[in-house]
Amino acid sequence: MSKNNLTNVDYWNNLWDHNKFKIAPQDDPIRKWLELHIPKGQGKCIEIGCIPGRYLAVFGEKGYELFGIDWTQRVTQDLPDWLLKCGYSVGEFYCKNFEEFDTKDRYDIVCSFGFIEHFTRWDNILLRHANLVKDNGYIIIETPNFRGYIQRFIHILLDKKNFNNHNIDAMQPSLWQNILILNGFEIIYCGYIGGFDYWVELQDRNFIQKVALKLLMRGKKYLTKISFTSSLFSPYIGIIAKKII
């Protein structure tokens, strides 16, 4: 693990080893966000940190040839095999550390979902994304919103192990916007995605945490009726930008 990375390959292998691949459902807020802003096309799309591929498959539906990089062991066979079975056009998949990834190829879409916030120098990772984009191509970045006060409270109280694997300094879309504008991108969307929602990962919890989580989950069906976006509680942050030089 590099000093810049808050996780390691074992963490991701354990998380995705037994995952069943499936496309993001129609009501997924990130999928709806992508479908609203990204046109159908015949170019190349690469996802950075592409396992489990649920959003990469959305670009397959739109007609793009799919590429990916991840350092988990299922990226070079399991994921492309599944995408091929779905009928999508599939290009190269790389089992590499993105910080060491070097290619002369450039892509019409460069995207990542829940990736840059796992790095201390997240700005360097964002620039690595940007450098892979063709002229007139798109960069798409999404992270969870653990920085918003309500989301932060929930995750520190009930999901601290998962929270510690994320750099909340990276969860500031205005900073992403500034970096991309300076590097020749036009901003299409920058902000928060989805109404109130939350999730937690598996971890050991004490009795009080278990009770609090149970009550929170019982109230979820009412709380998730809040449909407007807010930096305080929206579950996701996203930016879409087009390279204009």
Does 3 score more than 70 pLDDT? no
Q: Would you say residue 225 lies in a domain?
A: no
Cα-Cα-Cα-Cα torsion 71, 77, 78, 83, nearest 10 degrees, comes to: 110
What the block records as the tokens of 28 is: 């997924």
* Domain CATH code at residue 20: 3.40.50.150
Average pLDDT on 74-98 reads 95
**Is pLDDT at 1 greater than 50 in this prediction?**
no
Do the domain assignments include residue 211?
no
Banded model confidence at residue 55, pLDDT cuts 50, 70, 90: very high
Through-space distance between the first and last CA atoms of the chain, rounded to whole angstroms: 35
The string of pLDDT tens digits covering residues 123-146 is 999 999 999 999 999 999 999 999
User: Is 90 exceeded by the pLDDT of residue 222?
Assistant: no
Q: Is residue 204 included in any domain, yes or no? A: no
29 domain residue, yes or no: yes
Does residue 155 lie within any of the structural domains?
no
Average pLDDT value for residue range 145-169: 94
- pLDDT for 178: 98
Number of domains in the chain: 1
Domain containing residue 118: 9-147+165-198+235-243
Domain for residue 108, yes or no?
Answer: yes
Structural domain contains residue 153:
no
In a domain, 133, yes or no: yes
SS3 content of the chain, % helix, strand, coil (to 5): 35, 20, 40
**How many helices (H) and strands (E) are present in the chain, helices listed first?**
10, 7
In this predicted model, which residue has the larger pLDDT, 22 or 199? Answer: 22
Rounded to an integer, the average pLDDT of 213-239 is 91
| Residue 41, both tokens | 């096309």
Residue 24 pLDDT exceeds 50: yes
User: What average pLDDT does the chain have?
Assistant: 93
